[in-house]
Structure 1
Amino acid sequence: MTKKIYNIGVEATMEVIGGKWKPIILCNLRHGALRTSELKRNIPGISQKMLTQQLRELEHANIIDRKVYNQVPPKVEYSLSMYGETLGSILDSLCQWGELHVETLRNNGEEIEIKASDHEL
């Protein structure tokens, strides 16, 4: 096995939660478990294939837990794992900064909004 070397700690973080969709998925899971269909509804721009892929990668990294209920039709829920919960303050900071950024753009004359405050999710 080849030794992996990071130049800075944020590289290790971004390897796990980086990209367009993973932070959005994680922010949606901050307040509790969601089914795949609920995540898809909350993230309208993501394809089913991409959502499934991102969920698998986050599960493989032990950031989220997947719970399968033995019923018909099958029910699967995703939630932050105990390890994933350690990202809470990072996710909160990202969401808060995004709200500040939108407000800054709005103050600069851009027509922009956030559909729902992250605190409402």
Structure 2
Amino acid sequence: MPQIFVQDVQSGQTRRLTYSGRYNTQPSWSPSGDKIAYSTWEKSGEINIFVINADGSGVKRLTSGVRENESPSWSPDGSMIVFTSNRQGGKKLYVMSSTGGSQRRLLQMDGEQMQPSWSLFR
């Protein structure tokens, strides 16, 4: 079953971060490098977004009870996370605070939207 690992580039040492959830994928580093958001397929059958500290501590669920939530991507300032959810039927883009609050649909468009990636334009 997939889990989230980190590897020290200099030493080559690999460390496993996730130990819960049946399927942990789609890791996304926060801009400051201290947290990782990722998707977890839970025993309930839901897919939810979690955040974990880079040292493996402080696991926190950000979404729950709303079907499938996937593909988290941090805003450039680390205050928001964009993600895909099918909570209203087809897959659409949503945003939330980095602590999981204020979840809302981002766009009102036909079709499905998925796999968001937040970037900084200069």
Judging by fraction of residues, say which structure has more helix: 1
Determine which structure has more spread, i.e. the larger CA radius of gyration: 1
Higher strand content, 1 or 2: 2
Under a length normalisation based on structure 2, what TM-score does the superposition of the two structures give? 0.21
